[in-house]
Amino acid sequence: MAAYILRRILLMVPTVLGIMFVSFVIVQFAPGGPVERVVAQLQGVTSGASGLGGGGADIGASAGAQAGMGGEGSKYRGAQGLDPKFIKELEKQFGFDKPAYERFLLMVRNYATFDFGQSYYRDVPVLKLIGERLPVSISLGLWMTLLSYAISIPLGISKAVKDGSRFDIWTSSVVTIGYAVPSFLFAILLIILFAGGSFYQVFPLRGLVSENWAELDLVHKVTDYLWHITLPVVAMSVGAFATSTFLTKNSFLDEIKKQYVQTARMKGLSERRVLYGHVFRNAMMIVVAGFPGAFISAFFTGAILIEEIFNLPGLGLLSYDSIINRDYPVVFANLYIFALLGLVVNLVSDLTYTWIDPRIDFETRGA
């Protein structure tokens, strides 16, 4: 097993490099880079940037102080009338004075030591910026995944045992409807009902904790945190457990029909012993396989709209704003971290296979 783990870790290196290389190449052809955004600010054109801190305004102000009237024919749209020397200084400031291959190699070298540089517009180290947003994303992703699995596994088992019954039919209808309703619509409904929208003021509308959280004792800190996270997590979980519920049900149905289950029943074992002592371990294999994808999805893409609605500054919203604002250091740092995290979680998932069923031996199957 140690050799298998080592091979998987070594394979992570070319995988991450491939992801970063493809993303880097795509970015080279994307219009509206950071230089063009500063030029647009100087020319008084709305750039559509969102979520920028003081750093973006400082860049525009300092650039305006340096920019003179000069040559035409710049390769940047809207740069006509600006001094070509100033444009070159701007390129140097953002690192675009170097060839693309040199910039990519420099990025790889820095990322190997988790040196992500400085945000273009926020004037903050990227690692610090990510560290400030990480608790929100971990909270949403972890609690949503745990809640959805806590609901879907028992529900899927019950549906398999009662397959075809009225319980199975109406729960399938409810789960399907929950899956069909977008999480952001359900979030709005929760706000209307329980966050002072039109009915009750039970939960807070925004933020991960209260403003006086630091002054509270431990018990009240935990209570305040759970109070704030309830609505976002519930909104994300409504549609999340549908897939795992039906996956659990179908997996259990497949196992229940196998010969070893009939043999166990003929030996006089109770239905509970057959279900949880024999079927559960085999049926849960495919459910465990879906855990990494569910967690990573909740950790990033599934939380963007929820973070926006409940004003939760997480990594999903940070990544979206950074893409819109062409803040490349933040974009690539998030991509690198999520790619690395996804590969590590997949490795953990494979190791969980062996924990659930020791008969599985990845050593004999190669990398």
Q: Contact 121/52 with Cβ under 8 angstroms? A: yes
Residues 142, 281, single domain; the answer is yes
39 belongs to a structural domain = yes
| Number of domains composing the chain | 2
Which pLDDT does position 82 carry in this prediction? 63
pLDDT (0 to 100) of residue 76? 62
Q: Is 58 domain-assigned?
A: yes
R_g (Cα) of the chain, nearest Å: 26
Residues 284 and 151 in one domain: yes
In a domain, 342, yes or no: yes
Q: Is residue 366 part of a domain?
A: no
pLDDT at 122: 80
What is the rounded distance in angstroms from the CA atom of residue 336 to the CA atom of residue 106?
14
Q: Give pLDDT, residue 170.
A: 93
In terms of domains, do 74 and 222 share one? no
In terms of phi and psi (left: phi > 0; alpha: psi -120 to 50; beta: otherwise), the region of 45 is: beta
Residues 247 and 205 in one domain: yes
Closest by CA position to 293, among listed 179, 148, 129: 148
Last residue of a domain, one of 111, 126, 141: 126
Rounded to the nearest 5 degrees, what angle is found at the Cα of 311, between the Cα atoms of 291 and 147?
A: 25
What's the burial of 49, exposed, middle or buried (CB within 10 Å: 0-12/13-18/19+)?
Answer: middle
182 and 284 belong to one structural domain: yes
Q: Which residue has the tokens 């491939």?
A: 18
Q: What's the pLDDT score for residue 48?
A: 46
Which phi and psi (to 5°) does residue 118 adopt?
Answer: -110, 140
The answer to the question of residue 145 being in a domain is yes
Query: In this predicted structure, what is the pLDDT of residue 5?
Result: 82
SS3 61: helix
| Residue 85 sits in the same domain as residue 174 | no
- Reading the chain (367 residues) residue by residue, the pLDDT tens digits are 778 788 888 888 999 999 999 988 888 777 777 777 777 766 665 444 444 444 444 454 444 444 444 444 456 665 565 667 777 777 777 777 788 888 899 999 999 888 888 888 787 899 999 888 888 888 888 888 888 888 888 898 889 888 889 999 999 998 888 888 888 888 888 888 888 767 778 888 888 888 888 888 889 888 988 898 888 888 888 877 787 888 888 888 888 888 888 888 888 878 788 887 778 877 777 777 666 666 666 665 557 788 888 888 888 788 888 888 888 888 899 889 888 888 887 787 777 777 766 666 666 555 4
Same domain, 46 and 139: no
Confirm whether 263 is domain-assigned: yes
Same-domain check for residues 98 and 164: no
Q: How far apart are CA 360 and CA 354, in angstroms?
A: 6
Give the structural domain span for 106: 2-126
Residue 65 pLDDT: 47
What is the pLDDT, as a whole number, of residue 279?
A: 82
SS3 269: coil
Joined tokens for residue 300: 């990033």
Domain C-terminal end among 126, 158, 181 = 126
Contact 172, 159 (CB under 8 A): yes
DSSP 212: T
pLDDT of 71 reads 42
Report if residue 178 sits inside a domain: yes
The domain that holds 191 is classified in CATH as 1.10.3720.10
| Structural contact between residues 130 and 335, judged by C-beta atoms closer than 8 angstroms | no
Picking from 109, 126, 143, the residue at the C-terminal end of a domain is: 126
Query: Which residue type does 310 have?
Result: F
Decide if 367 is inside a domain.
no
What is the pLDDT at residue 45?
A: 53
pTM of the model: 0.71
Q: 157 and 73, same structural domain?
A: no
User: Which residue from 226, 225, 285, 234 is spatially nearest to 255, judged by alpha carbons?
Assistant: 285
- Whether 217 and 88 map to the same domain: the answer is no
Do 120 and 33 fall within a single domain?
Answer: yes
What's the confidence (pLDDT) of residue 83? Answer: 66
* Whether 274 and 173 share a structural domain: yes
User: Distance between CA atoms of 152 and 185, rounded to whole angstroms?
Assistant: 21
CA 330 remoteness from chain centre: 14
Residue type, position 303, single letter: A
* Ramachandran angles phi, psi of 125, nearest 5°: -55, 135
Find the angle CA(299)-CA(304)-CA(305) to the nearest 5 degrees.
Answer: 135
- Cβ burial of 195 (10 Å; 0-12, 13-18, 19+) is buried
